[in-house]
Amino acid sequence: MIRELMLFIAGAEFQSTFEAFFLKHALKFTDDEEHRLEYTQLFQEFQELFEQFMQQFYLKNNITEAEFGKRCRAAVKNDAKASQYLESHEENGTCIRAIEYHLQFTIFANFENVAKTWWFDLLEASPLVVSTVLDAIGEHIIYVSQEHSSLKYTRLCLAGIVMDEEKDRITITQTGIATDDRFPFQDGESRSNGFQWVVFQHVTDNLTLVRWSLLNFCPVNAKGPLSLSEMARNLRCAVRPNDSKESILMKIHIAVEGALGNLRDQFRHRCGRFRLEPPSTMGSRNFSMESLRHIHT
């Protein structure tokens, strides 16, 4: 039902009606006391217009407003799911064997541009992360190193792109590698490892459904898997000597959930530049590999 609403909102009639409304009143949206009453009237007009469209949506899909609200709340509740798996080590005590996480969200942009934005985030450096392409295997598989110097954290990743034209979607897979003889551990350094796959599903020319799944194993350092306390401290959690295992697990869960939520929101923001771009100017599925000319040797 959420998908039906997205298609309805993305439809030409809905878009053109609200675009005309905002264009008509654009000059009236100024921040002054003189137009305060006018703001209220415009808001009421907008609310009435939106309610008319929602009534059309309910009739079209043969559903009541109450039932639709119930389904929406269930969908939002299931937007992110997390699981933790524990195991014991004689040397490090209890550690997290793996964390599984699933996120689903939408972006108002063409799915090809959304996928390219994710791909280039792997290749391009930022103020917080130094990215180096170490090797390329064919056209759509790369081996990349991402260093978070402030966190003393490195991620070695084998990433690939799968383009499914029949189902109109693009999938990017990422495999984190813990150890590589070419890159020995530095003092205090830890590394994540595991699997990620992100599916960018075409809904309309300007609407993409993103499904992001992760299975991350326990981070490791030169001595082996991190303990619960070590992992919590790496995530900038406050850990006290008398904290119980359950308390530390909850802190890790909250930290990971917050970090992934921030990554999702930042990614959405970066894709915002495509929101007003007409479909006719969207790029092709030719994922540029120009950055590979800087391959580390």
Instruction: Say whether both 155 and 192 belong to one domain.
Output: yes
Same domain, 65 and 84: no
CATH code for the domain in which residue 270 is found = 3.30.530.20
Per-residue model confidence as pLDDT tens digits over 202-258 = 988 888 899 999 998 888 888 888 888 888 888 888 888 888 888 888 888 888 888
> Looking at the 3D structure of the chain, how many domains does it have?
2
Identify the domain boundary among 53, 75, 97. 75
Indicate whether 106 and 239 sit together in one domain: yes
pLDDT digits (tens, 9 = 90+) for 120-160: 888 876 666 788 888 888 878 899 988 876 656 778 999 99
pLDDT band at 96 (very low <50, low <70, confident <90, very high): confident
Cβ atoms of 204 and 10 closer than 8 Å: yes
Q: How many residues does this entry show for the chain? A: 297
Q: Please indicate, yes or no, whether residues 39 and 103 belong to a single structural domain of this protein.
A: no
Domain identity same for 62 and 205: no
Claim to verify: residue 61 and residue 122 sit in the same structural domain: no
Q: Are residues 88 and 58 in the same domain?
A: no
Instruction: Dihedral sign for Cα 41, 2, 265, 169, please.
Output: negative
Are 260 and 101 a contacting pair, CB within 8 Å? Answer: yes
Whether residues 129 and 268 share a domain: the answer is: yes
Half-sphere exposure of 289 (CA within 13 A, CB side): 17
Q: Do 58 and 98 fall within a single domain?
A: no
**156 shares its domain with 255:** yes
pTM, rounded to two decimals: 0.67
Q: What is the mean pLDDT of residues 107-123?
A: 88
- Domain residue limits at 58: 2-75
Q: How many other C-beta atoms can be found within 10 angstroms of the C-beta atom of residue 152? A: 14
Domain stops at, among 11, 42, 75: 75
249 and 104 in a common domain: yes
* Residues 142 and 122 placed together within one structural domain of the fold: yes
